[in-house]
Amino acid sequence: MDGAHAARVRCSGRKRIAGASRLPFGGFSGYAEYIGKALTFQGGSYEAAGEGSSGAHAAGGRDRRRCDHDHRLHGARMDAREHGQEDGARPDRSGRHRGAHPDLRRAVQAAARCGSQGRRAQGGELLDPARPDREGRLGNPRRRQEAELGSRAQLRRGADQFLNERSCRSRQPPGHHPGGSLISFPAQNRYAAYAIPKQKKRGMTNILNIIRLAKPLHPWIVLACILITVLAVLQQATPVTLKFVVDELSAQITAGAGDYDRLVFFFLLILGINIAMVVVNTAGQRVGDHIASRLGRFLTELYYRKIFTLEQRHFDGEISGKVINQLNRGIGSIRDFIGQATNWIIPGILQAAFGIAVLSYFDWTIGLLALSVFPVYIAITRYSTKKWGERQVKKNTHEDAARGRIAEVIANIKLVRTYNAQRQEWKRVSDTYRTINTIYDRQSTQYHILNFIREFGLEIIFVAVLFIIFRKTYLGDLSLGEMVLVIQLLAQLRWPLYGMSFILEQVQQADADSKAFFEVLNLPEREDFQTSAARPPVAEPEISFDRVSFAYEDGSPVLTDVTITFSNRETVALVGHSGAGKTTLINLILKLYEPTRGRLLLSGKSYAEADHSWVRSHIALVFQDNELFSSTIRENVGYGVPGATDEQIIRALEQANAYEFVSKLKDGLDAQIGERGVKLSGGQKQRIQIARAILHDKPILILDEATSSLDSRSEHLVQDALQKLFKNRLVIIIAHRFSTIQNVDRVVVIDNGTIADAGSPQELARRKGLYAELLHYQIEGNKKLLSQYELR
Ligand SMILES: Nc1ncnc2c1ncn2[C@@H]1O[C@H](COP(=O)(O)OP(=O)(O)O)[C@@H](O)[C@H]1O
Ligand SMILES: [Mg+2]
């Protein structure tokens, strides 16, 4: 195997590893090889290409050095990414090490140092072309980044639903958004969305759709293709020019009949070609960078937007963090694929066509032999990568589970520590990775066996062709220059071969790795994507349930035949056992879910026809679970009210009886409250939420166990504030403490998903029923308490 070839192969491996950031022009270093290889061959050692110390040799070795260097970079990038320096660490196409990360710089230096020793590693594990990628995720920087995720069951369910409900989706692709976004979000068409026309088996389809939809990128992609084509053509010019140089030289050496001026002309021509190649290459790399970054943005916007339009159910089955993981993996694989494909397809086809045409011109048997290699080679590749892809999907599933667990464990680290479950948790992840290793071993073994067959066959054919060439030259059928040209073309033919098999591998890889990403993009859109309601809210809204039934999951009804009206300016308490369906009722009012049967009305307008955002524009809510962001008090209170002033925020905090503790915090309104508000106590979190609801000042206020974590004194104070707020709006309170609901206009008793009773607190207390029963328990409990303290 010749050195330069090996370098190329390694490069293909490298591209697969580090490809996350590699777009058009990542793979253009090959031209140096032609010169290097040809001259080296002239010097008598085809094998030693790139190993000598002459300039030509050095040129031949350049590619190899880049590959080694890239390989090291890959390792360093992994570290760099872990240090949160993705962008800096991302190699660019020219320097490939614009990163600021010290490890990265060290790696670059080391790579430069070891450039001339690159060959040592040839065939070794480190530079095995197939290895880094197949080794998979452990070694892949992109994947290392993927911190969290979870099961795919939900996604699959969604995808199935999608297949059944496809008819309701519009197929309008997003256009260009005037606000500068790459995608537009049409307000009118409720199902207008990114929609992939058909879920075909081939991964290419999805990716090609993405390219089709990324309209603003089209001119850039075209430009990149033009530049790549120019570069590929320039590359072809080099061996041809060299043929003339060699002919000139051999004429001079053998017969003294060389023309020095011609030699100088060819030299200048080669110089010109090389300069042009560097210029085109640089421009191409810049364009490639542009495409890479815009594509990243486009895909992120697309995915993020999609997330907002998915039905609430989708999130019920999700493990947090999975979304990010899918996004990372999806974007990485798509970007890789597009980069690799552009880098390989155009030059590959050009080189193959050019090479075979010229070879056939000199000798049709050689041309035919070379041509015959392609179908065989590609067939083997197809077979091997298909299997590989299937295993990759399986591996991804296991890995998703493991990473999802890690993310959950970190979120619940207190729980894990309290119950001493560290070992058990660690083992669970470790076991999953053992399974992943097993799958990978199979992937790798199968790949290498087929790869061996592929390469072995290729080498045999190439050696046979070489023999024919030598023989023809020996017999005088080919000039020395022609021989050099033919050998170079032959060597060049390997490139499209590897290129094409590489592309097939990439298709599989992209298919497997972007599967979850596209599954999400293919889910039906249930909500509009818009932040403000198109219509103004009703000033005095009223909410009616008309024989509403609901189930989260098939077969287990949560609400059954609920008919009730919540009138304007009314304060209603929902009472019932835990799990009775109170929060579910609120979820329906928020239009987070659609009823299974019956309908909801907002001031006479059916929910089915109302925009989600319009319905929600009426409602301020304090959630049962603490819904807070890991940011400042100011941001949390003012959430959803972009122009809120400090005065407004402070007033809301005061009304919620929260300003006292906020003002004691070191940073006041700017105090960071930690993830989901971990730095606050339960009661403090609730008061922040209450302040948020107060600030929003909506005609409907819903408090879902909003004061359950408050101590009696705080509750009393908050209650006073809330009483003022209750005037002039519809208020729905869910509370277990009867002291909280003693002043409401109406109590609605929910039992087992139905409305069991309704009336004023006094009426219900007198009537036999659930309310009286619950009240009795609480009074008895209090009595007991009082007697224990001998206060009665
Ligand atoms: N997202 C969900 N998916 C499936 N089942 C749910 C979901 N949320 C609640 N449930 C179930 O619905 C029933 C009612 O829950 P909920 O309305 O939260 O009760 P509560 O009256 O205590 O607020 C419970 O049995 C609960 O297990
Ligand atoms: Mg509840």
DSSP per-residue letters across 531-555: SS-SSPPPSS--EEEEEEEEESSTT
Which helix H or strand E contains 313, and what residues bound it? helix 312-316
Measure the CA angle with vertex 454, ends 453 and 455; round to 5°.
95
Q: Is residue 414 part of a domain?
A: no
Q: What does the alpha-carbon distance between residue 743 and residue 762 come to, in Å, rounded to a whole number?
A: 10
Q: Is residue 344 part of a domain?
A: yes
Q: What does the alpha-carbon distance between residue 568 and residue 622 come to, in Å, rounded to a whole number?
A: 19
Give whole-number Cα distances, 55 to 50, 165, 181, 274, in Å.
9, 64, 49, 14
Smallest Cα–Cα separation from 492: which of 129, 275, 237, 117?
Answer: 237
| Index of the ligand 1 atom closest to the CA of residue 750 | 21
Token pair of 485 as six digits = 């040209």
Does the structure show a pLDDT above 80 at 38? no
Token pair of 449 as six digits = 């066996």
Neighbour count for residue 268 (Cβ, 10 Å):
10
Q: What would the pLDDT profile of 186-240 be if each residue is shown by its tens digit?
A: 333 322 334 444 444 455 677 777 778 888 888 998 998 899 889 888 887 888 8
The total of structural domains in the chain comes to 4
Burial 375-402 (b: 16+ CB within 10 A, else e): eebbebbeebbebbbebbebbbbbbbbb
Sheet (strand 543-551) strand order: 557-566, 543-551, 597-602, 605-606
Does the structure show a pLDDT above 90 at 95? no
Contact 755, 563 (CB under 8 A): yes
Which range of residues forms the domain containing residue 552?
541-618+700-792
> Which pLDDT belongs to residue 438?
95
Helix (H, G, I), strand (E, B) or coil at 750: strand
Q: What is the mean pLDDT of residues 666-689?
A: 86
Among 109, 143, 177, give the residue marking a domain's end. 143
Neighbour count for residue 583 (Cβ, 10 Å):
18
Q: Is residue 534 part of a domain?
A: no
Of 502 and 395, the one with more pLDDT = 395
Token pair of 650 as six digits = 């402070």
Structure confidence at residue 79 as a pLDDT band (50, 70, 90): very low
Percent of the chain with pLDDT strictly greater than 70: 72
Does the structure show a pLDDT above 70 at 765? yes
Q: What is the mean pLDDT of the chain?
A: 72
Considering the domain architecture, whether residues 79 and 190 belong to the same structural domain is answered as no
Helix (H, G, I), strand (E, B) or coil at 45: coil
> Which pLDDT belongs to residue 332?
84
Token pair of 745 as six digits = 């206009």
Q: Look at the chain and count its residues.
A: 792
Considering the domain architecture, whether residues 661 and 717 belong to the same structural domain is answered as no
Does the structure show a pLDDT above 50 at 69? no
40 Cα–ligand 1 center, Å: 75
Are β-strands 700-704 and 597-602 bridged in parallel, bridged antiparallel, or unpaired? unpaired
| Ligand 1 mutation pick, 552, 594, 770, max ligand atoms within 8 A of CB | 552
Are β-strands 571-575 and 746-751 bridged in parallel, bridged antiparallel, or unpaired? parallel
Smallest Cα–Cα separation from 568: which of 530, 527, 519, 618?
Answer: 618
CA 375 to chain centroid, in Å, comes to 35
Considering the domain architecture, whether residues 129 and 156 belong to the same structural domain is answered as no
Token pair of 355 as six digits = 């090479």
Q: Is residue 418 part of a domain?
A: no
Would you say the C-alpha torsion 755, 756, 759, 760 has a positive or negative sign? negative
Return the residue whose CA atom lies nearest to atom 10 of ligand 1.
Answer: 552
Among 634, 667, 697, give the residue marking a domain's end. 697
Does the structure show a pLDDT above 80 at 567? yes
Dihedral angle computed from the Cα positions of residues 505, 509, 515 and 521, in that order, rounded to the nearest 10 degrees: -90
> Which pLDDT belongs to residue 195?
44
Considering the domain architecture, whether residues 285 and 300 belong to the same structural domain is answered as yes
| Ligand 1 mutation pick, 312, 315, 558, 594, max ligand atoms within 8 A of CB | 558
Does the structure show a pLDDT above 50 at 777? yes
Residues 6 or more apart whose CB falls under 8 angstroms from that of 767 comprise 757, 759
Is 625's C-beta closer than 6 angstroms to any atom of ligand 1?
no
**How large is the angle between the packed helices 260-309 and 218-255, nearest 10 degrees?**
160
Q: What does the alpha-carbon distance between residue 202 and residue 606 come to, in Å, rounded to a whole number?
A: 42
> Which pLDDT belongs to residue 648?
93
Does the structure show a pLDDT above 80 at 582? yes
Sheet (strand 619-622) strand order: 619-622, 700-704, 730-734, 571-575, 746-751, 754-759
Are β-strands 605-606 and 557-566 bridged in parallel, bridged antiparallel, or unpaired? unpaired
DSSP for 542-597 reads -EEEEEEEEESSTT-EEEEEEEEEE-TT-EEEEE--TTSSHHHHHHHHTTSS--SE
Is 583's C-beta closer than 6 angstroms to any atom of ligand 1?
yes
Q: What is the mean pLDDT of residues 388-396?
A: 84
> Which pLDDT belongs to residue 637?
93
Is 638's C-beta closer than 6 angstroms to any atom of ligand 1?
no
Does the structure show a pLDDT above 90 at 425? yes
Contact 48, 76 (CB under 8 A): no
Smallest Cα–Cα separation from 656: which of 629, 692, 626, 681?
Answer: 692
Q: What is the mean pLDDT of residues 411-426?
A: 91
Considering the domain architecture, whether residues 553 and 640 belong to the same structural domain is answered as no
Q: Is residue 531 part of a domain?
A: no
Are β-strands 571-575 and 730-734 bridged in parallel, bridged antiparallel, or unpaired? parallel
Highest mean pLDDT range out of 39-43, 243-247, 344-348, 595-599? Answer: 595-599
Q: What does the alpha-carbon distance between residue 533 and residue 615 come to, in Å, rounded to a whole number?
A: 8
650 Cα–ligand 2 center, Å: 29
Considering the domain architecture, whether residues 225 and 266 belong to the same structural domain is answered as yes
Neighbour count for residue 769 (Cβ, 10 Å):
16
Q: Is residue 725 part of a domain?
A: yes
Q: Is residue 432 part of a domain?
A: no
Is 556's C-beta closer than 6 angstroms to any atom of ligand 1?
no
Return the residue whose CA atom lies nearest to atom 19 of ligand 1.
Answer: 579
> Which pLDDT belongs to residue 446?
87
689 Cα–ligand 1 center, Å: 22
Return the residue whose CA atom lies nearest to atom 2 of ligand 1.
Answer: 552
Does the structure show a pLDDT above 80 at 322? no
Considering the domain architecture, whether residues 72 and 202 belong to the same structural domain is answered as no
Considering the domain architecture, whether residues 93 and 114 belong to the same structural domain is answered as yes
Burial 734-746 (b: 16+ CB within 10 A, else e): bbeebebbeebeb
Return the residue whose CA atom lies nearest to atom 26 of ligand 1.
Answer: 579
Cα-atom radius of gyration of the chain, to the nearest Å?
34
579 Cα–ligand 2 center, Å: 7
> Which pLDDT belongs to residue 561?
94
Considering the domain architecture, whether residues 577 and 461 belong to the same structural domain is answered as no
* CATH value at residue 245: 1.20.1560.10
Contact 706, 689 (CB under 8 A): yes
Considering the domain architecture, whether residues 362 and 382 belong to the same structural domain is answered as yes
Is 702's C-beta closer than 6 angstroms to any atom of ligand 1?
no
Q: Which of 20-29, 477-486, 520-529, 613-622 has the lowest mean pLDDT?
A: 20-29
Q: What would the pLDDT profile of 345-388 be if each residue is shown by its tens digit?
A: 777 777 788 778 878 887 788 788 878 877 877 787 777 777 78
Residues 6 or more apart whose CB falls under 8 angstroms from that of 187 comprise 528, 530, 534
Does the structure show a pLDDT above 90 at 435? yes
Ligand number, closest to the Cα atom of 315: 1
Q: What is the mean pLDDT of residues 701-725?
A: 80
> Which pLDDT belongs to residue 204?
64
Smallest Cα–Cα separation from 34: which of 487, 481, 480, 500?
Answer: 487
Contact 610, 785 (CB under 8 A): no
Among 489, 521, 553, give the residue marking a domain's end. 521
> Which pLDDT belongs to residue 43?
29
Q: What does the alpha-carbon distance between residue 582 and residue 572 come to, in Å, rounded to a whole number?
A: 12
Percent of the chain with pLDDT strictly greater than 90: 21
Q: What does the alpha-carbon distance between residue 517 and residue 520 come to, in Å, rounded to a whole number?
A: 5
Token pair of 152 as six digits = 């795919």
| Ligand 1 mutation pick, 549, 578, 583, max ligand atoms within 8 A of CB | 583
Q: What does the alpha-carbon distance between residue 664 and residue 602 come to, in Å, rounded to a whole number?
A: 42
Q: Is residue 425 part of a domain?
A: no
Considering the domain architecture, whether residues 455 and 358 belong to the same structural domain is answered as yes
> Which pLDDT belongs to residue 257?
80
Q: Phi and psi of 734, rounded to 5°?
A: -110, 125
452 Cα–ligand 1 center, Å: 57
Q: What is the mean pLDDT of residues 157-168?
A: 29
Contact 95, 35 (CB under 8 A): no
Return the residue whose CA atom lies nearest to atom 1 of ligand 1.
Answer: 316
Considering the domain architecture, whether residues 450 and 578 belong to the same structural domain is answered as no
> Which pLDDT belongs to residue 533?
53
Q: What does the alpha-carbon distance between residue 626 and residue 636 come to, in Å, rounded to a whole number?
A: 11
| Index of the ligand 1 atom closest to the CA of residue 578 | 22
Highest mean pLDDT range out of 58-62, 128-132, 289-293? Answer: 289-293
Does the structure show a pLDDT above 70 at 669? yes
Token pair of 412 as six digits = 């619940």
* CATH value at residue 787: 3.40.50.300
Q: Which of 446-455, 549-558, 579-588 has the lowest mean pLDDT?
A: 446-455
Contact 783, 792 (CB under 8 A): yes
Q: What does the alpha-carbon distance between residue 663 and residue 768 come to, in Å, rounded to a whole number?
A: 48
